[in-house]
Amino acid sequence: MKAEDVKEHWESGAPTTKCETIKRLEVNAIYNAIMDIEGKVGSVLEVGCGNGENLRNLQAFIPRSFFEGYGNTRFCGMDMVEREPEFDGEFRVGNVLGISEVFDEKFDVIFTCRCLISLANHAEQMKAVGEMAECLNDGGTLIILENFTMYHTRQNHLRTLLGLKKREAPEYNVFMDDGKLIKHAKSIGLSYKSAYHFASLHDIVLYVLLPAMGIEPAYEHELVKAVTKLSLGVEETCPFGTEGQNVLLAFTKGER
What backbone phi and psi angles, to 5 degrees, belong to 139?
Answer: 85, 0
Fold for 3-148+171-198+237-253, please state it.
Rossmann fold (3.40.50)
Three-state DSSP class for residue 91 = strand
| Mean of pLDDT over the chain | 87
The pLDDT of residue 6 is above 60: no
Give the pLDDT of residue 149: 97
Give the pLDDT of residue 84: 62
Query: Tens digits of per-residue pLDDT, 108-143?
Result: 999 999 999 999 999 999 999 999 999 999 999 999
Query: Tens digits of per-residue pLDDT, 163-180?
Result: 999 999 988 899 999 999
Give the pLDDT of residue 20: 82
Domain positions in the chain: 3-148+171-198+237-253
Give the pLDDT of residue 206: 96
- Name, in order, each residue with C-beta under 8 angstroms of 230's C-beta and a sequence gap of 6 or more: 201
Query: Using CA atoms in the order 225, 229, 234, 236, what is the torsion angle rounded to 10 degrees?
Result: 40
Give the pLDDT of residue 65: 86
Amino acid at 62: I
Query: Tens digits of per-residue pLDDT, 205-240?
Result: 999 999 999 999 999 899 999 999 999 998 778 889
> Phi/psi zone of residue 65: left (φ > 0), alpha (ψ -120 to 50 degrees), beta?
beta
Give the pLDDT of residue 82: 59
Does the pTM surpass 0.75? The reply is yes
